[in-house]
Amino acid sequence: TYPFLLKSLSRLLNRKLGGCLHSSVVKTGFVWDLFICNSLLHMYGTFRDRASARKLFDEMPFKNLVTWNSLLDGYAKCGDVVSARQVFDDMNERDVVSWSSMVDGYVKSGEYNEALEIFDQMMSVSSSKANEVTMVSVLCACAHLGALNRGKKVHRYILDEHLPLTVILQ
């Protein structure tokens, strides 16, 4: 199926075949299938092709939370936290993926205080609970800032919430 093939091409980082498969999606009339479009968005985000991702997103007649998260995560992975934040702010609905993508995007861009600010917002205004992915990014921000006390509070949260500790911190 197209979503499986697109995911495989993303993992292989094969841009040429990705473009060919996108053309095939158009030719076979599946261009506006939401699952396929979301897979295409994910692929373009993985390829760090912001222009193609944004063009596809803007042309999509229907969008869901996965659609918005795919665009947001793509921008964050590219280090474009300004565009990621704009998408985040435009979202009508957010989940743990949305919040975690923003936290991680700020961390990867070296904006550690902003990462902790967005995490604090998540904890105060969102019904989404932080997961281990969120917490790895938050701990990374704490480490870069030398915020030992904050790091201890994060560690306490991880223990209190029984979050799995399966991710290796670098």
Tokens 């904006």 -> residue? 111
Cα–Cα distance for residue pair 156/32, rounded to 1 Å: 45
**Residue 71 DSSP code:** H
> What band does 59 get if pLDDT is binned at 50, 70 and 90?
very high
The domain spans of the chain are 1-89, 94-170
140-165 mean pLDDT = 92
Q: Tell me the H-state helices in the chain.
A: 2-12, 15-27, 34-46, 50-59, 65-77, 81-90, 96-108, 112-125, 132-145, 148-160
122 — pLDDT class (breaks 50, 70, 90): very high
Q: What is the mean pLDDT of residues 63-70?
A: 97
Q: Which of 1, 48, 47, 40 is nearest to 22 (CA)?
A: 40
